[in-house]
Amino acid sequence: MTPSARIQATIELLDEIAGTPRPADAIVSAYFRARRFIGSHDRGDISVRLYAVLRHQARLDWWLERQNAVPAPRLRLLAWLALNDRLQLKKIAEICSGGKFAPKTLDDAERKVLRKLEGDTIEHPDMPEEVLAECPTQCLATLKEKFGKHFMCEMRAMQEPATLDLRINPLKTTREEILEEIRELGMKAELCSLSPWGIRVFERPSLNALPMLKNGLVEIQDEGSQLVALAVDAKPGERVVDFCAGAGGKTLAIAATMQNKGRIVACDVMAGRLKRSSERFRRAGLHNIEVKVLASERDPWVKKHKESFDRVLTDAPCSGTGTWRRNPDARWRELGPGLEALLKTQAEILDSAARLVKKGGRLIYATCSLLGDENEKQIEKFLSNHPEFTLAKCGLDGAEFLSLSPAKHSTDGFFAATMIKAAAKESETESPSQ
């Protein structure tokens, strides 16, 4: 592809992302699948520029509004070329030639904006803190309270591309074996510092370039997500439920810690996602997993299996604020329920899942959110309504909660809490007298 064609493809993707209520990564994947002629190098160039624009949207919009221009996908990209790539108006006009596969020619309004942006850079001393932080107004106060003096450091880390983390399948291989294999492929990688299963790859290879993904030796999983699975602390022979299993990433990790012994049930209301997860389970060589589609969190299956499981993980649907590194568009677009609806759903899921926990068992609540309302406050509310549960420490270095963030831990933002259900009283376990 020519440089102009790559710019045009980026504009098309930005337009589609702005006008389609689907995550950006799903839109990008579908776009490339429909255009197999686009080579891997061109795909990489388009993706890097696309996500850079999404990560700088607040700053780009600040510049455009300063020029009395209405922010729009195409104009954001043109401003990015001027402010980041430092291209002058003449060069941008050459790219936007209006020729075959090239962007349409610049109009007078665009020329006026680009002329004023010449010589400027993406950041300006007059930008307010929330713009520099790329932080939505509705999250600003909460995140400033959470991070305090580290707020800007964390927000800067959130603007960086997410790392490529792999989780090895301990039933089939070791980290050292996989690390050596990756390095033999010419890629830079190292062992993750927090997860005993993790390997961090410092490149963006085509997934086809990682053959170990095809035979169940490794899975792609952020190190933080691996730590959530570790917090479940499932033992071989136990009965475990992953109540909101989704595509099964944490289910796989939990099943591996159980060494294929015992039983783990992967539940979700999305039948399609569970069906796809079954192939991952088979590829990983795990046969202690069964899949259960639920009609809702109050499905009769839950009541039928009351107090039947040693561990129950509720990886609840959430705002996803912890995943802004890999989903930068999620900052500005509400693709699902709003926060108030999510808080209600989380509480209902937690309340229902708690019924599955046997006496003496553990309930683990997790989100990929950085917001206290979805995390600590949700746990506080649950415990006040369920005195039979008590909080157990599950965080790093003996902390009460597992609370991960990009700047501090080099992971996505994750939260987890572990609660123990009171053990059965002696009178409940004694056999009836003869």
Alpha helices in 70-173, H assignment, sequence order = 73-83, 89-95, 108-117, 129-132, 137-147, 151-158
Alpha-carbon gap, residue 33 to 331, rounded angstroms = 26
Chain Cα centroid distance, residue 173: 26
Question: Can you read off the two tokens belonging to residue 176?
Answer: 């050292």
Domains of the chain: 3-127 (1.10.940), 164-220 (3.30.70.1170), 223-428 (3.40.50.150)
CA torsion through residues 111, 117, 118, 122, sign: negative
Alpha-carbon gap, residue 280 to 274, rounded angstroms = 10
Q: In the chain, which stretches have pLDDT less than 50? A: 431-434
Alpha-carbon gap, residue 251 to 253, rounded angstroms = 5
Question: Can you read off the two tokens belonging to residue 280?
Answer: 């991952």
Chain Cα centroid distance, residue 107: 39
Alpha-carbon gap, residue 6 to 11, rounded angstroms = 9
Q: Name which of 177, 176, 204, 173 is nearest 188 in CA terms.
A: 204
Contact 404/227 with Cβ under 8 angstroms?
A: yes
Instruction: Map residue 151 onto helix, strand or coil.
Output: helix
Alpha-carbon gap, residue 430 to 422, rounded angstroms = 17
Contact 105/96 with Cβ under 8 angstroms?
A: yes
Instruction: Map residue 420 onto helix, strand or coil.
Output: strand
Question: Who's near 124: CB < 8 A, 6+ residues apart?
Answer: 62, 63
Contact 362/419 with Cβ under 8 angstroms?
A: yes
Alpha-carbon gap, residue 401 to 391, rounded angstroms = 9
Is 244 an active-site residue? Answer: no
- Maximum alpha-carbon separation in the chain: 97
Contact 275/246 with Cβ under 8 angstroms?
A: no
Question: Can you read off the two tokens belonging to residue 131?
Answer: 């713009």
Give residue for tokens 């221009």.
69
Helix (H) or strand (E) holding 265: strand 263-268
Q: What is the pLDDT of residue 429?
A: 52
Alpha-carbon gap, residue 251 to 49, rounded angstroms = 34
Chain Cα centroid distance, residue 64: 30
Alpha-carbon gap, residue 130 to 428, rounded angstroms = 56
Q: What is the pLDDT of residue 244?
A: 95
Give residue for tokens 């989380």.
346
Q: What is the pTM of this model?
A: 0.92
Active-site option among 135, 244, 267, 368: 368
Q: What is the pLDDT of residue 262?
A: 95
For 203-238, how does the pLDDT look when each residue is reduced to its tens digit (9 = 90+)? 887 777 789 998 899 999 999 999 999 999 999 999
| Strand 357-367 versus strand 309-315 pairing type | parallel
Alpha-carbon gap, residue 401 to 411, rounded angstroms = 16
For helices 40-55 and 73-83, the axis angle rounded to 10 degrees is 90
Q: Name which of 334, 322, 289, 338 is nearest 411 in CA terms.
A: 322
Chain Cα centroid distance, residue 353: 23
**Which residues partner with 191 through β-bridges?**
199
Q: What is the pLDDT of residue 243?
A: 97
Q: What is the pLDDT of residue 431?
A: 47
For 376-425, how does the pLDDT look when each residue is reduced to its tens digit (9 = 90+)? 999 999 999 999 999 999 999 999 999 999 999 999 999 999 999 999 77
